[in-house]
Structure 1
């Protein structure tokens, strides 16, 4: 971290001197100094310097508190939907109620963040605000808001250029109002968290142990969530979406030796402030050479390698709560048979029911022939990719004992996306083969790098998660940077990013189906491993389970499933994340049963989503990836709200 401080100080000095000589920094206004230079120095550069420190500290404080409340090292200010809510509110107001922008971008964004946070609290409410309910509610709200954001981006990209720039995170200032507004808010929220730091630190022992010590667990979590979420919302409304700081700063604090939550509240804000300060100063230097990079994107590009290096060099880790050991249960034949029937019916319906110029049509076996060759690759491609992502989601969640984990967290999908973006935006008229080759190369490189670094760090699940997340976030930042470059083919790239079966060929569909069948054969062995893993490393080793080989094998299988699905239809986020939870809601708790059920659910979601995307706005088409969260999300929300089966 000393290197970061030295680099930040050096770049700050260069930026300030470039605008105003040192001898004039403290000079009186009557000296012969150009007024414009002094104004920029006093009301642009200095406020931007201070705001970077404040925002970095605020995001790090928010991330540390949320990770403690949710007992999850992947939690960050964006987890509970505040950032997505702020961006959605700005886009909606800019398109349909532009008069409200007179109140200021920050006011509209803050209102959107507040509404999203209230929605999460409403769906997750119970006596104890259980971490899993909070995480799932936040993920659902974030996915819904993200779906609407992407839809607006596709259909109104020309009208939302300013919002795109804001969403990448920019610290530009023209006065001290931002500092005067954020500094007292940060101080109040930080002291509020400090006041409850001692009882909050007990929550890592588990709810039962905390209650036995007299800690009102629900009240403490609520008191911690309010300032933590507020900090993220305040920063987002002021400077836009700046990700990764809230995730990386607490992780770096742990890697540097901070163990207790009280120490996190002291160390993480300092690290976050330094990280954002150094990044923003580097962005300013690059801008003088014509390289205009948003601060939010640059933060990821700088922070991800630092996090990877510390994770590899440090032997400390995170504590993951293991899954409960499985109870013996009979084969749920009726449930799985009903799911299989639903898969078949949805596939048949997607083939024979469609909208045309003259209205809805029900094709008969005699008339479907001419269009059969056009529809079946999309239906098979959607079903198989949904099933593969769902299976991958079960594997990664069980391997890491983390309900927030999804196939995308390994970084394979993000790396494949980056390779595809490079070809789509930089190569004139690229063929589908060129896109697939580029995506395959970057996905393979990312997988190899993750495996190599994980082995060097000890091969534990928490390191795998953080390394995959760091590499994936870095690749995503590269994709965002390419999209913000103003390329004329941005709409085409956005469509691919949204997960579309539009270009799925018969070969793609058969390759995906073959990969799914092969993975099913391999999973016959993996389910035995997954039944033993919840017992813990010590018991698993005593039972003869080669932990190192098992983890690498499961990661490799997850990566292959994710990579093939991404190459066929593009990056998708919903099926692999929530299909495992939906399967558990149906009572499929054992590993083998959950894998089969999640595969059926993932297939149903993607088939129905693709059918809706083809027909809802006919003749226009909406990518299946955008609609998938709207197909499966409502059911999970209803189940959580009714409390039919606890998620806590």
Structure 2
């Protein structure tokens, strides 16, 4: 007898994405239930009508809307991050890093201060401002095909530019500073179920658009040519993806504030566990984002921290380690491109440029002494020095030390930028980008708020501790990747985001004056006196011989570690000394003037642009340019809207960010 066997089809197995989605959905449901359980239990066990009514109000009007807001906002952030990454084929594209959330913050301020925009305030205005920020970042970076590093830096520059504009506006509308400061940290409190329902209506348009974009966005992962070959209209799909992602971001920001990291972390976390298909990635990013946000909010409640602002802190505390792990494992990165923002220029003579810079600096400083609410010609300076013009003496006593502090701080920040860019071999490194100035500012601000009478030695010590610790962490994390530009930049931005969240937390938890703290954090020379200049000057003077000594070794280091070592250079010792010097220079400047933006990042490029490549020449030129930039910012900030003062840090960003974006665009065109 012959036995016949029939092959039975193997039972269908659920795809990894489906299994992970079910697990994520269960976890999110458990997180939501954990947040709702105390009030739900009180609702079911209430005794008496009064207690039942209170429990009902607490559950339906407070706790449930808050949990739903966290789920909806986190899901929108996660989905927006997945969309931005698919559109740009860039794993580090996200609402925060593209400047979209900064654009939404501008929309919030416009809604608060411009009565004519009241009709479109909320998600519509946030959407328009966020879309404008995304367009600016994408244009400056070079369009859809921009490399991860270029897109990252263009978005960061846009965010700095928009935040500088916010600071200038807040200087004119001081009554809105406190509310915007609280909202900027992220707040999940909702005005009852009705307020949540009204906000949720703006989620419908992007949800309707998503199904029509899925096939096209999935095809984009194959490349533009392959997508076009299967009938996908690449440009409309990309445009629709950006618009939809921006709409999701606007909804999330309107609902919960600009809570960072969710849009970057959720998709990359899923890629790290093997999710590649875009449809699965999009849905799971939404689930993961919602879970992350309500988990952070639950941690805030468990630790009895203040509501709202600390939700952003908890999100940053959760998101930063995850992002750093992805950086160390290389999961969120693609190979870095070369020659980013490379400036080119004809060789120039230091003997010609240095005297010209000195003359320009003296002329600008003289103009700064004369210009202001009261014009002070040089004839009155002499009278002030002889004691025959007390009014002129008083004015000079206010203006002169500010200019002196601006000169010294600008030179120190510029020197720090030159050294950092050389040692890390990253043309886009700088104390701002690497988080050094933000770390120093956080420790200094915390010390000033805790101890208002703190002296300058303690201030310098705190700033140095914050700056050196930040730089040490960044370099330790990226040591195995040989300080490649993209991981270093991404790590610096991760720490910057964490420090920003912690800074807002410090301001709120200590009941500090938001206006004073936020203005200081932008950086400036307001209120600086001769003792500040005297305290800062030794740091510059001591660093000058060290900078001169390191110039030749830094030139050798540009040849590469192996070549430099072959020429007898101790590369490890040189890196340690140079990085320590750069961190000390930046941190000492921050201790006096706060974290001035773009001085350390921009001036080395300007020096290279006019033809100075050797460190012995580039350092003095960059330092002169740094002094000119900070003095110009101080003068314009002091006199442009007098008697209202614009912080110098806001003006350095307003000057530096557009130029930096133009420099990126110029480098892109030149590379074609």
Aligned residue among 188, 208, 229 for 2:209: 188
SS in 1 for 2:558: helix
Judged with a 3 Å threshold, the aligned counterparts in structure 2 of structure 1 residues 247 and 344 are, in CA distance, closer, same or farther, namely farther
Q: Which residue of 1 aligns with 2:36?
A: 16
How much does 1:487 deviate?
Answer: 3.0
TM-score by length of 1: 0.79
SS in 1 for 2:336: coil
Aligned residue among 510, 524, 527 for 2:552: 524
Q: Which residue of 1 aligns with 2:3?
A: none
Taking the TM superposition and a 5 Å limit, the aligned residue runs for 1:133-144 are 138-144=155-161
Judged with a 3 Å threshold, the aligned counterparts in structure 2 of structure 1 residues 366 and 441 are, in CA distance, closer, same or farther, namely same
Report Cα offsets for 1:281-303 as digits up to 9, x if no partner.
2234445x766644223211232
Report Cα offsets for 1:163-203 as digits up to 9, x if no partner.
33222222233223434532662573486266223434648
Q: Which residue of 2 aligns with 1:442?
A: 466
Judged with a 3 Å threshold, the aligned counterparts in structure 2 of structure 1 residues 186 and 382 are, in CA distance, closer, same or farther, namely farther
Contact 1:424–1:493 (8 Å) recurs in 2: no
Q: Which residue of 2 aligns with 1:332?
A: 347
Contact 1:381–1:513 (8 Å) recurs in 2: no
Q: Name whichever of 483-492 and 128-137 sits farther off.
A: 128-137
Aligned residue among 309, 313, 317 for 1:297: 313
How much does 1:415 deviate?
Answer: 2.1
Judged with a 3 Å threshold, the aligned counterparts in structure 2 of structure 1 residues 88 and 486 are, in CA distance, closer, same or farther, namely farther
Q: Which residue of 2 aligns with 1:77?
A: 95
SS in 2 for 1:410: coil
Aligned residue among 245, 252, 260 for 1:228: 245
Matched, 1:34 2:52: yes
How much does 1:479 deviate?
Answer: 0.9
SS in 2 for 1:407: coil
TM-score by length of 2: 0.76
Q: Name whichever of 331-340 and 383-392 sits farther off.
A: 331-340
Gaps of 5+ in 2: 1-19, 386-392
Supply the distance in 1 between the matched residues of 2:627 and 2:646 (Cα, whole angstroms). 18
Taking the TM superposition and a 5 Å limit, the aligned residue runs for 1:501-512 are 501-502=525-526, 503=528, 504-512=532-540
Root-mean-square deviation (CA), in Å?
Answer: 4.9
Gaps of 5+ in 1: none
How much does 1:345 deviate?
Answer: 0.8
Supply the distance in 2 between the matched residues of 1:6 and 1:384 (Cα, whole angstroms). 58
SS in 1 for 2:596: coil
Supply the distance in 1 between the matched residues of 2:72 and 2:206 (Cα, whole angstroms). 10
Report Cα offsets for 1:547-570 as digits up to 9, x if no partner.
877766665454334323322321
How much does 1:593 deviate?
Answer: 7.2
Contact 2:99–2:158 (8 Å) recurs in 1: yes
Judged with a 3 Å threshold, the aligned counterparts in structure 2 of structure 1 residues 103 and 522 are, in CA distance, closer, same or farther, namely same
Q: Which residue of 1 aligns with 2:199?
A: 178
SS in 2 for 1:573: coil
How much does 1:373 deviate?
Answer: 7.6
Judged with a 3 Å threshold, the aligned counterparts in structure 2 of structure 1 residues 458 and 39 are, in CA distance, closer, same or farther, namely farther
Aligned residue among 346, 349, 361 for 1:346: 361
Aligned residue among 77, 89, 92 for 1:59: 77
Judged with a 3 Å threshold, the aligned counterparts in structure 2 of structure 1 residues 505 and 58 are, in CA distance, closer, same or farther, namely same
Q: Name whichever of 73-82 and 396-405 sits farther off.
A: 396-405
How many aligned positions are there? 633
Matched, 1:612 2:612: no
Matched, 1:106 2:126: no
Q: Which residue of 1 aligns with 2:254?
A: 237
How much does 1:218 deviate?
Answer: 6.9
SS in 2 for 1:243: coil
Supply the distance in 2 between the matched residues of 1:126 and 1:309 (Cα, whole angstroms). 29
Judged with a 3 Å threshold, the aligned counterparts in structure 2 of structure 1 residues 615 and 571 are, in CA distance, closer, same or farther, namely same
Report Cα offsets for 1:337-396 as digits up to 9, x if no partner.
447624541343223542255435346884575687866654454234334434544565
How much does 1:280 deviate?
Answer: 1.9
Report Cα offsets for 1:240-275 as digits up to 9, x if no partner.
211122233344345545678787546544443322
Q: Name whichever of 155-164 and 457-466 sits farther off.
A: 457-466
Judged with a 3 Å threshold, the aligned counterparts in structure 2 of structure 1 residues 322 and 200 are, in CA distance, closer, same or farther, namely same
Q: Highest Rg: 1 or 2? A: 2
Matched, 1:149 2:170: no
Supply the distance in 2 between the matched residues of 1:617 and 1:544 (Cα, whole angstroms). 56
Q: Which residue of 2 aligns with 1:359?
A: 375
How much does 1:608 deviate?
Answer: 1.0
Judged with a 3 Å threshold, the aligned counterparts in structure 2 of structure 1 residues 439 and 193 are, in CA distance, closer, same or farther, namely farther
